[in-house]
Copies of this chain bind each other. A is one copy, B any other.
């Protein structure tokens, strides 16, 4: 039952972003192509952040929809502009994330293994949003906290112990 409700909500969001995107395309004189809607749908089916490759795979394997990389990059650009997607740059390749109705969260990035986890913190969010900024109109922000995750802390400890034996 709860799962069903959750799925309905997810479909709601998908429909809403589709409407927002349609409106965006209309205002900016862009065409409504099946590729663009397929890409938007795929993105809003992915839970966390994703790379271009992952998005391409999602489309191909889950939605059985093949698009060229050119179109992918093209469409992401529109979605960024429409504020439906946000771009990150941890690691070596760009990472993207859907951002409509997403809870605010920050990113913990392990410099040992590259794992990215999310850290919700509303207080921090509020403070940053109300931070005084002269001569600058803020649209969004990203906070990346680098360090060592539990797993890698333990791995390091084991390594150290072994060395001292």
Contacts and interface: CB of A to CB of B under 8 A. Distances in A.
Interface stretch (A32-40, A42-50, A134-142): A134-142
A155 interface: no
A135 B111 contact: no
A138 to B, nearest CB: 4
A111 B77 CA distance: 12
Q: How many copies does the complex hold?
A: 2
B146 A140 contact: yes
B127 A139 contact: no
Nearest to A91: B89
B143 A128 contact: yes
Contact of A108 (B110, B136, B143, B153): B136
A73 interface: no
Interface of A: 89-90, 108, 110-111, 117, 119, 121, 123-124, 127-128, 131, 133, 135-150, 153
